[in-house]
Amino acid sequence: METVLSISNISKRYGKIQAVNDLSLDVKKGQVFGILGPNGSGKTTTLSIILELIKSNSGSFQWFGKAPSNESRKRIGSVIESPNFFPYLNPVINLKIVADIKDLDYTDIDRVLKLTGLYDRRKSRFKTFSFGMKQRLAVASALLGNPDVLILDEPTNGLDPQGIAHIRELILLIAGQGTTIIIASHLLDEVQKICSHVAVLNKGRKLFDGKVSEVLAISDSFELSARNMEALTQAVKSYPGFQSMTPGDEKIQVYFNEVIRPDELNQFFFQQGISLTHLSERKRSLEQHFLELLHDNA
């Protein structure tokens, strides 16, 4: 799969603050890649570096396998700051101004307005828009010219639930058309529902990156019981991937550090001569995994 963005050992310092610390990651074509972390974790700084709004102190990055250039910039659309358009102009005129800045013709304006659900409001002044509509117009401006990559920094920040749902649906629609999307967010729920891949940052350092589905597939724990609890407690310690357990009189809670299938677990104990009377799997959510990563790397 083609690598759209490759970041290699990027660091950025503001005085005593290490905003980004030796960050490396790759984004592949067609991914919806979430950069997740609390406020101050380096998300916006990272996006600003790859968009060449600021320079890193060290490290490098490539777009589409090459050093950044005017050609690569034309293939990237972005929304980094709050929507900023002329309040007394309608969306069409505002987008014409954006098209002039990008050296694009006006033929794409109707498409992006329809895609973002703003076509019916194309004659309304920008100042009459809700914040969610303003955010969608910002996305529309980023989509002019049909870029290969769309970069969004906290796209649902400040929106009400309905606005969040609209932006989420829009992102999934755009991704479904083959656009690679990079999203910075501190909202776990947003990343879990939208993104195919995620990198977790804290204090400028990458703590984890991989498929969201792989994170969610990791079993948090299994609740087990058997007639012979003593034998069960001893046997579970020899199971591959065993991490720890919380003992109890009638049930034990067992934690593993890798993906465990319930049927394989059951078969293992049966081969040890132990018949389980209770087996219950509990999945770790992205939120649990995120909080564990932050706690372990505090």
Q: How confident is the model over 51-74, as a mean pLDDT?
A: 95
Question: Looking at per-residue confidence, does 217 or 248 come out higher?
Answer: 248
Q: In the prediction, which pLDDT does 250 show?
A: 87
Q: How confident is the model over 118-130, as a mean pLDDT?
A: 96
CA distance 53 to 31: 23
Q: Which of 4-8, 128-132, 217-221, 252-256 has the highest mean pLDDT?
A: 4-8
Question: Looking at per-residue confidence, does 218 or 243 come out higher?
Answer: 243
- Which architecture does CATH list for 3-215? 3-Layer(aba) Sandwich (3.40)
Q: Does the pLDDT value for residue 218 go beyond 60?
A: no
Lowest mean pLDDT across 163-167, 198-202, 286-290: 286-290
CA distance 35 to 43: 6
Q: How far is CA 28 from CA 65, 93, 211, 270, in A?
A: 11, 35, 12, 43
pTM tops 0.95:
no
Contacts of 45 (CB under 8 A, 6+ apart): 12, 19, 20, 54, 204
> 218-296: which CATH topology?
Alpha-Beta Plaits (3.30.70)
Q: How confident is the model over 87-109, as a mean pLDDT?
A: 96
For the chain, percent of residues with pLDDT exceeding 90:
66
Q: Does the pLDDT value for residue 219 go beyond 60?
A: no
- CB contact at 8 A, 204 and 14: no
* Residues 33-42: tens digit of each pLDDT: 999 988 889 9
**What average pLDDT does the structure give for the chain?**
90
For the chain, percent of residues with pLDDT exceeding 70:
93
Mark 243-252 as b/e (b = at least 16 C-beta within 10 Å). Answer: eebeeeeebb
Q: In the prediction, which pLDDT does 217 show?
A: 58
CA distance 18 to 45: 11
- For the chain, give every domain's residue range: 3-215, 218-296
- CB contact at 8 A, 31 and 180: yes
Q: In the prediction, which pLDDT does 297 show?
A: 60
With cut-offs at 50, 70 and 90, classify the pLDDT of residue 65. very high
